[in-house]
Structure 1
Amino acid sequence: MKFTKNIALTIGLLLILWSCSVDENTPQGNSVPQDLEYRETLNIPYGNNPEQTFDLYLPAHRTLNTKVVILVHGGGWTSGDKSDMNGFKDYLKSQFPDLAVANMNYRLANENTPPYPMQIHDITKVVNHLTSKQSTYVIGDEFGFIGASAGAHLSMLWSYAHNTNSNITMVANLVGPTNFTDDAYLNNSSPELQKMLTLYGEPATTAYLQEVSPYHQVTALAPPTIMFYGGQDPLVPTSQGTAMRDKLNALNVVHEFTLYENEGHGWTGQNLLDTMNKLSVFIDTHL
């Protein structure tokens, strides 16, 4: 799914990036220096697979209350890379210099290795790693997700069904699938859509498709959720967004929903600016 690359490249052109010094020293134990410098560490391993790495960007003057945004890339569960989310990473660093950002890779699925529960386990490992090293990195234990396409699906599913410690304060969904039992998927002959369903089991039972669908896993305890969809998206039917909106509304979960009627699986220009403005307000409010 190409949304991530499109939006990342466009955001990159819009930003005037700020420069910071890199601190190679990691604070140890419970002693927190008062004047920590900006620090970034790339390709931190969180498992034994080469794909299980993430990049961590820690702000200057951080504390044990510093919030963390976790970025989850798209790519149809079978491709993509954390570098696809660099536009979001740069945007967050420039607009929210007090936030920490973790940009993660996860193990990619193939015909022999389904995405679920493997990729959900990878998100759990990243959250557990960050939580266990809270005093080392000097960060808090509250997190937000920003996911694009397949990464939005994973972000929502984890936040709704696997957030056992209730430490996710918000999730942002950009063109993410939400319901694999939707007739718009099941009755669609598009090769792309059928390939996606095959990843989740062939033949897939209704119970299994419900288990991997944020729409069927969400409860009234879900974190605030913001969603963006394109009305002409060839990969993610509009009903994936509108039904999720209606479900969140019925559960009284705080949420926002934007549908760009003439956009596809990603957009640029004024609508992209609108997306980022709304996302910024949402982060300000809920993270």
Structure 2
Amino acid sequence: MMNMKLVSLFFLLLTTAACKKSVSNSNLQAETFLNVSYGSNSLQKMDVYLPAKRNADTKVVVFIHGGSFIGGDKSDYTALVEELYKKNFAVLNINYRLVDGSGLETNPITHKKSSILIQDQVIDVSAAVDFVISKVEDWQVSNSKIAVVGHSAGATLALLYSYGDKNTGKVKAVANLAGALDQTFTDLPNYNLLPPPILEFGYRYTGFEVSPTNEQYYKAISPLYVANAGKKINTLTIFPENNVVGAFPKQNRATFDAFTNRLNQLGISNKFVQIPGADHSFTTAGSVQLMFIELLTFLGSSY
């Protein structure tokens, strides 16, 4: 989870950031709508930020929070989202259904299947995007200039949706802020000796035990393997230099380089940026500022 007090401080200091603005003759006022439902589940809600003087060219950003797929909340990222909104983007900050995280801290670990899997969360992202498209006339924003941005688990969901079958040209750009890119375990030496919570996370995420026989289900939640030449979505990857996420493996630069190489092989336009000294949540001095400038530059020119 990001330290939002620190984020807010950096944003107060942030006075220069490139952002392409649409020309508008609209007299519309800025509007904010909180906890708007996009589905029937109590977690399927979004906060809607509509800038003043918007029109059919106003770019749209769907933001997806992190939290290891089992936690987190859109409110954790309100400061970041509001800064995007101030830069003339229409921003939808979404919640989504969560994988069951109960019993992961018990000793021994509780082994149980979750009723919500990562694939269900991708369905939620799809539903949120479809809801946004259904509202563009009411909100008076673009129906074609739509990007998804996520941090950590949210970045993984953003990538899985963008490269997946449900994105039928709806989203044109995706920004990955320290997402989990390869969630396969069985290619690691002695993978069965990984900490029990990690193996249980895999089971909760997919509904299948970690084993070579079930590798396909883990590749299906790994953007490294889901990326394909049929979905050439402009992609930004921001890697914090010190990207440690608990005991989770494959959060290092080598995994991110493998992802970049994969996108290049597929002919997918992409940019890789490493933020020096940054931790996973971009809480180190200056790292949020650098990340935000890169994000703004990408969103201003990529779609």
Which residue does the alignment assign to 1:272? Answer: 288
Alignment of 1:47-58 (within 5 A): 47-58=39-50
Aligned-pair CA distance for 1:261: 6.3
- Greater Cα shift, 273-282 or 101-110: 273-282
Residue identity matched to 2:147: G
1:269–1:209 Cα change, 3 Å? same
1:192–1:228 Cα change, 3 Å? farther
* Partner of residue 109 from structure 1, selected from 74, 96, 99: 99
- Structure 1 position 257 matched with structure 2 position 257: no
- Structure 1 position 241 matched with structure 2 position 241: no
Which residue does the alignment assign to 1:215? Answer: 224
Alignment of 1:160-199 (within 5 A): 160-181=163-184, 183=187, 187=191, 189-199=194-204
TM-score, normalized by length of structure 2? 0.80
Which residue does the alignment assign to 1:153? Answer: 156
Aligned-pair CA distance for 1:78: 0.8
Task: Please state whether the residue corresponding to 2:286 is helix, strand or coil.
Answer: helix
Aligned-pair CA distance for 1:178: 1.3
Instruction: Work out the CA distance in 2 between the residues paired with 1:215 and 1:189.
Output: 21
Aligned-pair CA distance for 1:262: 4.7
Which residue does the alignment assign to 1:60? Answer: 52
Residue identity matched to 2:46: F
Which residue does the alignment assign to 2:7? Answer: 11
- Structure 1 position 226 matched with structure 2 position 236: yes
Alignment of 1:29-108 (within 5 A): 34-94=26-86, 96-97=87-88, 99-108=89-98
Where does the alignment leave 5 or more consecutive residues of structure 2 unmatched?
14-24, 101-112
1:275–1:184 Cα change, 3 Å? farther
Task: Please state whether the residue corresponding to 2:180 is helix, strand or coil.
Answer: coil
1:71–1:109 Cα change, 3 Å? same
Contact residue 76 and residue 149 of structure 1 kept, 8 A? yes
1:145–1:11 Cα change, 3 Å? same
Q: Percent identity?
A: 27
Which residue does the alignment assign to 1:20? Answer: none
1:184–1:230 Cα change, 3 Å? farther
The Cα RMSD (Å) is 2.4
Task: Please state whether the residue corresponding to 1:269 is helix, strand or coil.
Answer: coil
TM-score, normalized by length of structure 1? 0.84
Aligned-pair CA distance for 1:39: 0.6
1:93–1:34 Cα change, 3 Å? closer
Where does the alignment leave 5 or more consecutive residues of structure 1 unmatched?
18-32
